[in-house]
Amino acid sequence: MVSDEEKSIGNAQLYPLRFDPIYQYRLWGGRRLSSLLSGQLPGEGPIGEAWVLSDRTDHQSMVANGPLKGQTLGQVMEQFREQVMGRLSSRFHRFPLLLKFLDAHEMLSVQVHPSDDSSELIPAGDTAKTEAWVVIEAEMGSQIYAGLKSGTTAGILRESLLDGTIAEHLESISPKAGDAVFIPAGTIHTLGNDVVVFEVQQNSDVTFRLYDWGHIDTKTKEPRPLQVEQAFACIKFGAIDSGLVTPIVETTAPVQRERLFDCPAFLLWRVIGQDLFTVGTTAEPRVLVCIEGSGQIRRNGTPYTVGKGDVWLLPAEAGECAFQPSGEVRLLEIAIP
């Protein structure tokens, strides 16, 4: 259903925008995202990532509904930045978050992302990279590593790269569905063995690989390159606020709202309900990610159907919207501080 406001976008507030996923080949990936997202996975090879909201030059999310269908997020930001970002419009010329689903059938490389303290390692136009994961699916042997064990020094870590014992020096998590893991920039981390997560991160693609478990890329027949010295320059040794977080319950009725992450780069809530509730806010954008169930966003009498795996950007101009679940629904709602 296309409303009158959508037909005449120039004379009306922006409407809720849905985006199609961008699938990414990764040698460590699998095929499990087909059960989470509505689109068919391309090809037959391993798909490790689905970028579901991206304002990256090389991978631009495209609007999938309404009169702006086919336009990229970058084009929308260029034309309607104030309408999209509201009070944040003067701070951001591109959308500051990158959102993904990850299917880690095998272990990702042990890696680290730079913080603002390592600005010399961040390419022009990019940023530091703090990220966080919400576990969607996990198996008995699934694994997440986040941070160094107490007492691990740079010397010990370098020796472990030579003898393959690096995992012994990483904080280990046996994940289960619903777990929330915070990975601030400078944290050494990895995950894998059949775990599916939703990832929210700063809009950066700067990753330094420290160790890759002997993986050989089936396309190139070669090991993937490592960036050991850059990684060591970024790693924060000593205590760091990473790993499992305890959800903070903010409301229980008419919807259960749990705050999972609250950091300078993003805020994220898990919202669970089956009765009508409110999403979005005034003067700021919000992003909704449906991880279970379905329903409708309702704005000015117009319904927008939301299915499992869908990602919706609620522009600042859209303000608060109603959400009508079809049975119980689980959403992630994301804000920019």
pLDDT of residue 12: 55
Distance CA(64)–CA(56), nearest Å, equals: 17
pLDDT of residue 219: 81
Give the chain's largest Cα–Cα span: 65
Query: Are 4-244 and 248-335 the same fold in CATH?
Result: yes
For residue 162, what are its two tokens? 């030579």
What is the DSSP-derived secondary structure letter of residue 131?
E
In the block, tokens 């229980």 appear at 252
Annotated domain spans of the chain = 4-244, 248-335
pLDDT of residue 56: 96
For residue 160, what are its two tokens? 């472990």
In the block, tokens 């944290």 appear at 187
CATH architecture for residues 4-244: Sandwich (2.60)
pLDDT of residue 13: 74
- Report DSSP letters for 277-306, one per residue: EEE--SSS-EEEEEEES-EEEEETTEEEEE
Among the four given CATH numbers 3.40.50.300, 3.40.980.10, 2.60.120.10, 3.20.20.210, the one describing domain 248-335: 2.60.120.10
pLDDT of residue 265: 97
Distance CA(334)–CA(265), nearest Å, equals: 11
Contact 297, 16 (CB under 8 A): yes
Distance CA(311)–CA(273), nearest Å, equals: 18
For residue 304, what are its two tokens? 């927008």
pLDDT of residue 3: 46
Per-residue pLDDT in tens (0 to 9) along the chain, 337 residues:
444 444 456 555 799 999 999 999 999 999 999 999 977 899 889 999 999 999 999 999 999 999 999 999 999 999 999 999 999 999 999 999 999 999 999 999 999 999 999 999 999 889 999 999 999 999 999 999 999 999 999 999 999 999 999 999 999 999 999 999 999 999 999 999 999 999 999 999 999 999 999 998 888 889 999 999 999 999 999 878 999 999 999 999 989 999 999 999 999 999 999 999 999 999 999 999 999 999 999 999 999 999 999 999 999 999 999 999 999 999 999 999 9
State the distance between the two ends of the chain, measured CA to CA, in whole angstroms: 33
Q: Which residues neighbour 238 within 8 Å (Cβ) at sequence distance 6 or greater? A: none
For residue 231, what are its two tokens? 């990684």
Contact 96, 202 (CB under 8 A): yes
pLDDT of residue 248: 98
Helix %, strand %, coil % for the chain, to 5? 15, 40, 45
